[in-house]
Amino acid sequence: MRLLYIHIPFCDSKCFYCAFNSYTNLNHLKKKYFDAIKKQFQTIKKQNFYTVFIGGGTPSTMPIEFYEKLFKLLSPFTKNTKEISIEANPTTSYEWLKEIRNLGVNRISFGVQSFNEKKLKFLNRNHSPSQAIRAIENAKKAKFNNINIDLIYSTAMDNKKLLENDLKTAFSLPITHLSAYSLSIEEGSKWEGDFLKRKEDEELEVWFIEKIKEKLPQYEISNFGKICLHNLGYWEGREYIGIGAGAVGYLNKKRYYTQKNVYEYLKTPTKLSVEKLSDEDIKKEKIFLGLRSIVGFDEGLLDKEEKKRALILMDEGKIYKKQNKIYSKDFLVADRLSSFILFGI
């Protein structure tokens, strides 16, 4: 069964670090957006979905009427769907949370980033720490039993005390999952090229990750707690369908891209550009993604030289083998391990 991703390209404000396909000045297009999504959805093969993920942008900026229509469209194909996730901003109201839960969404992910007032201002977030706390409590009250928060670390403002306080607050709340993202300075974001916004401190990073692991098991480089089946599906190399402006799909060894520009997407939502992946591309991706998570990869993927290099890493205790699959001992250094196995560097 395939995964379904739906992209909502609208936000109430733009965070300085963010280069996602999201806009704050296109609210007048929200109404038309459903018709475009519907048009694109109607062109895909009718099928039951393993998981659904509504991401963004900020899906919680869309009114509940949008989701009533969306779930009418999806419901014939979500009868056996295990997990329906949505991303939300901490400014989301209790009413919205209750209604989205009633529509069948069973996992919610809040972009919290930090519980420190000054750090939130630094990142240009549009909410306070207390709004984030209330949103999480409201989600629990609205009967969400699967609640994630995103935190960002390795920003110039971070130190042990600040991060410790973030985790103390996080773990006092009814969360089942935490995503901790190391700040990346992205092209196309307000902070493009400004590497001073990031703190390069490997010791602090390792300390932070270990602190999270004391409370929640790590199952991927940035993810801890109750496994998100949708994301695990990507890392396992399952096929997925991407709906919405700038969404990506993966079917039959090809990657499909819809148009990023919202105006263009609204005009021709079924227009796709296609990238054919070679067996070599797919193999490399399996190794990179596998080592970053509990998924691992099949030893049989490796050629003779790669196997030799994998053996070196095994001797050094950095990777291990279990039933013909190879796993990383430390997800944080997974990219370095993959590069060594594949390219010897």
Ligand X SMILES: C[S@@+](CC[C@H](N)C(=O)[O-])C[C@H]1O[C@@H](n2cnc3c(N)ncnc32)[C@H](O)[C@@H]1O
The residues binding ligand SF4 (CB under 6 A) are 11, 14-15, 18, 20, 22, 56-58, 89, 111
Q: How far is the CB of 16 from ligand SF4 (least distance, A)?
A: 9
CB-nearer residue toward ligand X: 152 or 209: 152
User: To the nearest whole angstrom, how small is the minimum distance from the Cβ of residue 103 to ligand SF4?
Assistant: 22
Nearer to ligand SF4, 136 or 319 (CB): 136
Smallest gap from Cβ 126 to ligand SF4, in A, equals 7
Short-list 239, 246, 230, CA closest to 36? 246
Q: What is the 3-state secondary structure (H, E, C) of the chain?
A: CEEEEEEECECCCCCCCCCCCCECCCHHHHHHHHHHHHHHHHCCCCCCEEEEEEEECCHHHCCHHHHHHHHHHHHHHCCCCCEEEEEECCCCCHHHHHHHHHCCCCEEEEEEECCCHHHHHHHCCCCCHHHHHHHHHHHHHCCCCCEEEEEEECECCCCHHHHHHHHHHHHCCCCCEEEEEECCCCCCCCCCCCHHHECCCHHHHHHHHHHHHCCCCEEECCEEECCCHHHHHHHCCCCEEEECCCCEEEECCEEEECCCCHHHHHHCCCCCEEEECCHHHHHHHHHHHHHCECCCEEHHHCCHHHHHHHHHHHHCCCEEEECCEEEECCHHHHHHHHHHHHHCC
- Which residues of this protein are in contact with ligand X, per CB under 6 A? 11, 17-18, 20, 55-58, 87, 89, 111, 113, 150, 152, 181, 183-184, 186
Task: Kindly tell me which of 20 and 235 has the beta carbon lying closer to ligand SF4.
Answer: 20
Q: Which of 10, 49 has the CB closer to ligand SF4?
A: 10
Residue number, 17 or 77, with CB nearest to ligand X = 17
The residue (of 81 and 113) whose beta carbon lies closer to ligand X is: 113
- 91 contact, one of ligand SF4, ligand X, none, CB 5-8 Å limit per kind: none
| From ligand SF4, ligand X, none, interface partner of 181 (C-beta below 5 to 8 A by class) | ligand X
Binding site partner of 14, from ligand SF4, ligand X, none, Cβ cut-off 5-8 A by kind? ligand SF4
- The residue (of 59 and 249) whose beta carbon lies closer to ligand SF4 is 59
**Residue 183 binds which of ligand SF4, ligand X, none (CB < 5-8 A, kind-dependent):** ligand X
CB of 53 to ligand X, least distance (A): 11
Side-by-side strand order, sheet with 240-243: 218-220, 223-225, 177-182, 147-153, 107-113, 83-88, 49-56, 2-8, 240-243, 248-251, 254-257, 273-276
Least distance CB 237 / ligand X (angstroms): 22
186 binds, among ligand X, ligand SF4, none (CB under 5 to 8 A by kind): ligand X
Q: Which is nearer to ligand X, 124 or 261 (CB)?
A: 124
In whole angstroms, the minimum distance from the beta carbon of 173 to ligand X comes to 16
Question: CB 111 → ligand SF4: shortest distance, Å?
Answer: 5
Q: Min. distance of Cβ 4 from ligand X in angstroms?
A: 17
Closest CA to 123 of 205, 57, 189: 189
Q: Which residue is nearest to ligand X (CB)?
A: 111
Which of the choices ligand SF4, ligand X, none does residue 184 contact, using the CB cut-off of 5 to 8 A by kind?
Answer: ligand X
